[in-house]
Every structure is written in C-alpha cells, then in structure tokens.
A and B are shown apart, each in its own frame.
Chain A
Amino acid sequence: MRSLEYKMKLTDEQKAILEHSKGETLAKVMESLVRYGELFGATEMVPISSKYNHLVTSFGLKALGPVYELMDKLLEAGAPSGQKFSVDPKPLDPNVPSSFAQDAIFKFFMYSRQKDYEKQLMQLGLLSDNAFTCTCYMDEVGNKPGYGEVLSWSESSAVVYANSVLGARCNRNSGIIDLMGSVIGYVPKFGLLTDEGRKADWIIEVKTTKKPEAQLLGSAIGMKVMEDVPYVKGLDQWLGTELDDEACTYLKDFGAATASNGAVGLYHIDKLTPEAVKFGEDLINPGAKTYVIDDAELERVYREYPVIWKNKNAQPKLCFMGCPHMSLQQLKDWTDKVEESLKKNGVEKVTVPTVFTAAPDVLEAFAKTPYADRLKATGVITSYICPLMYMNNPLSEKMPVITSSNKLRTYTSARYYTDEEILEQITAPGRSSGRKILLGRITGAVPAFHKLPNPLPRGIRKGGR
C-alpha cells in the first residue's frame, strides 16, 4: 500500500484508526474516507449527528458481487454500521405485473442474491423489514433528520430533500461511502457540509403562467446547473410560504428531477425552504448566473426528451407512478383524481395497468384509510417496489412503460408524461383494456393484468414499441 499523504486535520483517534489500531479493514475504511475528502479540500472529519443513516444499495443484484464481498469484510472485522439505517426500495414485488420470463430473469438471474443481501443488511444495522424506501424522511417512516444535522446518506433524491427541505447537511455520497461514514462515525467536511458550499451559483427565475409541473421544472434546472446550487425565485407564488404537505410533496418530486437530470444536491426556494427563509438572498454568490424559466422553456425541455420506444405510437402496457415513492397525501389525491376521471370517461377501471409505489409504512397507513378500497376499485395496484430496478433489464426495457417520473425517464426506457397526461392515458375510454392486452395467467384474486403473458405479448416479442 502506498503511504497516504493528507492535509486534513485528524484527531488522535482518527489517526490511530488510519494506522491500523483497529485492524486493516477499519484502516482501509478510514483511508477511503480521508482520500475521498482530500479530493474536495476537506479540512477535517466531523461527527455524524443524525440518528439514522440511509443507504442506496437495496438490491441483491448479481452484478454487484464485489460490493457484497466488501460488506462481508466489514462484518468479519466486527464493523457494522454505528447507526441503524433505512435503505432504498426492494427491486421485487409479486404485486407488480410481470411476465413469467421477467419473473425468471428477476428471481434466478438479476436479483438472485436478494435474500442473502437482505440478511447482510440486517446484520449491518437495517432499521426494520419495512425500512425499504427512497422516501425515508416521510413521517410514517421516521428517518427524518433535523435542521443542521450532519448525515452520511446516499440516494440522490433523499440527499437533495434532506439538504433543501429539512436543512440537514449531507454531500451526494455514493453507495459504500455512505455506509463507511457510519462505520467510522465521521464524514469528511467539504461541499454541502460547509456554509460556503451551500451558497448558490445560479438564480432561477420562474415566470410561468401556471404552477409548473414539479418533475419538469426540476429536470430543466438540473440539466442547466448540473452540480451547482440553484436559488429559485418565483415559485412561492405557486407553493406559498409554508412547508406544508403539498409543498413538501412538490419539492420531493422537483428535487428528485434536479438530482437525476443533473447532479443537484441542494436547492433553495425563495421564501420557502429553511435556509432561504433564514438567510434570503445572502445565499447567492456574487456573479451567480441567471436562468429564466417560462412556459416556452418548459415546453422546449419537454419536447427535447428522447423517446426511445421503437414504435413511438405504441399503446402503453404499464404505468409507474412514485419514483421517488409517493406520499400518503399523494396517494389520496390520486385516488380522487383517478376516480373522477374514470367517472367522467364512463370507464370502470384503469385501462393501462398502473402501479403506484410508496414506502411500506406509508402503504400501511394508506391501507387504514377509506381511500385504499376506493383506489383498489379503480384497478390501480399499490406496491413498495423500486420502479427503476424493475425497468433495468432487457425485457422490461422493451415494454412501452409510461411515467410522470423524470428520474425513471432518465435511467430507463420509460416515457415521460405530465401528471395530467398520465391521468388521461390511464383512464382513457376506448383503449384496449389491461385485461384485453394482457391475457395472462389469472391466479386467485390477482387481477388479470397482474401477470403479463408468457411468451410476451406480440408487440413486445417483436420489439414493437
């Protein structure tokens, strides 16, 4: 091993760990964090102050074998996470429509290490069996850090929410680095952990004539500012100045789009998010660039998304909503919207197989409300799955899947539509119904479209998208 040169100030305890006082594995963990921090000019390692961590790696993907081996090394060295943690959503849920071919690929090939990996997570410090979600900060889940707390989180949508809406301090950590922080108990202080790093290099002026679609606005900003911090003006006229449930839900979806379409880790919303309320325009760096977003700019961004379906006019065979996972209020609001639209169109059930995803704890809370039976009656399925993990394979990739998630659009072949367009599509009359398209296996109480047929439907078999 090369001798490690570093400039940051380490405590005696940190130096001792680096010099193998707690064994080779922990020395390597410390070396990883020190070298990582040095690249960004970190001055010191600071203690993590949040109660819980959040990790991104929730999937027992066969291809990630080297990651599981590394986690085994941590366990063998007696170095589990110093904090309990939540983790991103599971990649599999039998509730979600899939073909037999997809099932086989998921279970025996792609996610063949899922069960083993979940055991490993429990050993490392997983909060509970329900702690699989990308929206760990929901009240029902309970991993919600406070203002100013220092985190070692990953998951881009959760990091940007924690920084921006909750005022916590966290860099856009990668998987593995997230866990290493809580193994050691410290993270290198740089970037979004510093006052300077939280200042804005962009002023965004929102000048739309109606409330902009959260996922579209976030996408436009992400693609423009990339990893910089934007200070957004003009959005308070649509969101108000209170971080109520509606505003938080909007910012959840907005932030996920900024983080996935670009690399935003923190944004400030004038008069709304905590640091913007506290410091106002003092958060804007001198010389910050300006990006004006009006209706035409949003339209341009939307029209420029590549549509990568082979048959661009293909009928959608599946709709995913909830990337990131939906809030309880979102599930309720969408129940009303779907019911109303079905009634208006004279249709009983959704005409595209549709999955709403949310955290297991949120789904349990939803199940206790009268909305749950009403949503079920519309034919919409609820699930705790990660739509992204479902989509990332050659079979799913060939399916014409629609979504209003700009994150899902970015990482997969799913086609983006606005919320309003999604509602129109899934409740459209005259379309071949899900049952008709997907004459698959019918098992028990599972709706007909729960199982895609095997072999795949003709359009999919021919790659006809």
Chain B
Amino acid sequence: MKEFQGRVVVPGRIAAEALVSHEGLNTLASFQKALQFGDKNATCGDQNNPDLYGKQMAGKALCLPQTIGSTTGGLVLYCACSMGRQPACMLFSKPIDSLAAAGTVLADVWLDDVNMPVIDSLGDEFLEYVKDGMNIVVQEGGKILVG
C-alpha cells in the first residue's frame, strides 16, 4: 500500500473504498437532491462533475482537491453528517477551503456520534495515484494508506 501524509482537520480512523473527484466538489449541487429526496446513498447530483455524477458518496472515502461553489456548502455538509449521509472520510489533496472547513468543523463540534475523519494537504500526487474502488485506510495523525 502506498502511504500519504496530510494534516488532520478532523481526527479519526476509518477504512473505506475510494471515490475520486479530480475537480472541485460542488457541495450544494452534489448533495442537495440526495438530502431533499431521502437518498440514503447520497447519490451525487452534480451534472457538471463527470467523476462523481450518479455515484454513491455516502460511506465512501471521498478524495478531492477542494470544494467549490455556493456558500451554503458548509451547512449542506453539516446536514449530510447530521442525517448520516456523509462520506466515510474526506481526503483533500489541497489545503481545505473555507466552506468545507466550516461544514466539517461544525459537524465535529455540534453533532454527537459522527465519525468523519478529514485530512487535507495530501498533495497532487495523492489525487493522481488514487482511483475509484481502491482501499483507503485513515490512520491517526493524518497518515493515509492507499492500495
């Protein structure tokens, strides 16, 4: 397994299957329909994102550069966590953006029993290496194993 080191945004350990977006995740466009219409798999609704559109995001190790778009992004992510439709973990190749930071921090501070480790600054090589379906292990201290 290949190892990557990032910065811990929200601590935790988890193992999950990778789901990769090479473009920024538009949080509102991706999650809104799933939250609104009771889709427990959180199927991505962002038709402008060919990597994710139509794929299940809940329970996956979501690998992405950053999030983009509407400033509702953070609260949408917070709601996804509150409703149990969040990814298993979020792994950012770049430093986290302000919207994703808000959503993940709010979920960690205000919600009980939500375990969604968030690691950022994993580097461009991480996103070049990781592919859909690969096994991801998130360890303490921001270490990621991909294989």
Contacts and interface: CB of A to CB of B under 8 A. Distances in A.
Contacts of A411: 26, 28-29, 69-70
A176 B102 contact: yes
Contacts of B70: 56, 156, 260, 411
Main SS of chain B's interface residues? helix
B32 A176 contact: no
B19 to A, nearest CB: 21
Interface in A26-80: 28, 31-32, 35-36, 39-40, 56-57, 61-67, 70
A284 B96 CA distance: 23
B32 A63 contact: yes
Interface string B56-82: 000000000010111111111011001
A62 B96 contact: no
Most chain B beta carbons < 10 A, residue from A35, A40, A175, A308? A175
A64 B71 contact: no
A70 B109 CA distance: 12
Contact of A40 (B48, B71, B98): B98
Given A175-B74, A263-B66, A70 B32 contact: no
Contacts of A176: 74-75, 78, 102, 106
Contacts of B74: 174-177
A174 B75 contact: yes
Most B CB within 10 A of own CB, among A32, A57, A63, A65? A63
A392 interface: yes
B21 to A, nearest CB: 14
Interface in B83-132: 83, 96-99, 101-103, 105-106, 108-111
Interface string B1-39: 000000001010000000000001010110011011100
A36 B77 CA distance: 15
A70 B81 CA distance: 13
B79 A67 contact: yes
A28 B109 contact: yes
Contacts of B29: 410-411
Contacts of A36: 98, 101-102, 105
Interface in A136-175: 154-156, 159, 171-175
Interface centre among B33, B98, B99 (most CB of A within 10 A): B98
A394 interface: yes
A227 B35 CA distance: 26
Interface of A: 2, 28, 31-32, 35-36, 39-40, 56-57, 61-67, 70, 110, 154-156, 159, 171-178, 191, 226-227, 260, 262-263, 306, 308, 392-394, 410-411, 413
Given A174-B103, A263-B68, 7 more contacts: A31-B109, A39-B96, A40-B101, A64-B79, A66-B111, A174-B98, A392-B32
Identify the 5 closest CB pairs spanning chains A and B, nearest first.
A174-B74, A174-B102, A66-B82, A63-B35, A175-B75
24 contacts: A32-B109, A36-B105, A39-B9, A63-B83, A66-B111, A110-B36, A156-B69, A156-B71, A172-B71, A172-B99, A173-B102, A174-B72, A174-B102, A176-B75, A176-B102, A176-B106, A177-B106, A226-B24, A260-B70, A263-B66, A263-B99, A392-B36, A410-B26, A410-B69
